[in-house]
Structure 1
């Protein structure tokens, strides 16, 4: 018995150490980005580096919204000869709005269409339900590069290139299969007794979905909402391919464009990264309980 307890304790210690290393691996880049965003540019280039900001300030965050102040500051510091302030930083405030609009629209469409589609596939008997389900998720298995050119040609031919609508359409195409898959798994694990009783009482399919099924699958709905928002908010490849101007560019495109510049101001880039991360982090922190329940409940039931 004592030997079993020792083995169990050793196993727990190994698991805790592995979990701690994983947390450090994930959290350290976020910490380091935040640390650099609060330092002056001279402090960022110091050797050895500062693991904590020696003189914390929010100048880099202010400079994102006031480029003229940034130029004036670096001229006064005598650093303008070897540093470059990307012009794309001017587009960052607009990019935040674009990203939120796109991600929110994609999330709303996923909730409505995904819930209706999954309910129909799992609760309404009709021929071809399973082939239709597999057809709906097979598109997600294809690498984005494979379908990039066809999508670009189609969107350009209908005059939607460099618009928010084009990005929304492609993001829906990528997130909808995941939505249908998760909701299908969740719905198939829920007994239909209550729904059958409601049908006997004269409820229509829509009333059953709204009054009976929806309250039960609410954790999965929240999980789908957060996941689809996150996927759309952070998507880079198609957002870069389909947008050309500040009117439609998203946060990942703006940050990627700024990072590609030579001798870029690292503090500004890190501040942009922190600001870009905030909306997603706030959503995850507020709804983390529902996110975990929604993603695992379908497999547990």
Structure 2
């Protein structure tokens, strides 16, 4: 580090700030230090830095599954956001419970952890090692950790308003699992929007996030004139089921999904959906966690990331 400082004409402290991703470095100075590091082949030694700072520069990521689109996209986005702050990511699954996952992370001496989506419902009441900083994605805010989530209810409200604008009666809802925070919030946004419009919400049809469950739900939704699906994968299955029942989308049925998966524009018809900004969600979660690890003012409450309606052919005017 001393050699890098001498080559760049700066202090050792400035080199340290560049290495640790501190924003308190002039951009031109940062470039000069990075060039010196490249010329000298300097690489920070993670183990040595951990001994000096008492931090491993590693954060844990707790999931129940990577089979869902939301979890897999959040994994990638979180890894990228962590790398920008100089942190590595260790992935653990909560197949034996969140407390067990926390214990395994403690054994690996991570500095903190982010709990994703379905695993978030297991955090409340779970014991975790003392000093483990925690951020939870898709959970209500509670004492002891920060929560961040997309504006699920706001996105659901926008989807429901768009379907109401098509006319033809009420809007049905193909919901996600009952124990999911995201599912509950999307159902709340749908329900409150209908009530505000003076429309009685029909009975919820529930799936499990999979396209297969969306296809199975088609039997109950085949006479609907509009359906808001809690995610795009279930919408995909529903589109196929409606076609099998001879219902045309959007001529007979308007359909909106949630997530805006990369393939949504290539569904038949292309799917109107609510876009989640997974990159912004991961940035928010990682920033909150790293700030807590590094001693910044603790964040409290919830970080809410806006969603956006993406209009495609599945809600074309009739």
* TM score, norm. by length of structure 1: 0.31
* TM score, norm. by length of structure 2: 0.29
Q: Which has the higher contact order (CA 8 A, sep 6+)?
A: 1
Q: Which has the higher helix share?
A: 1
Q: Which has the higher strand share?
A: 2
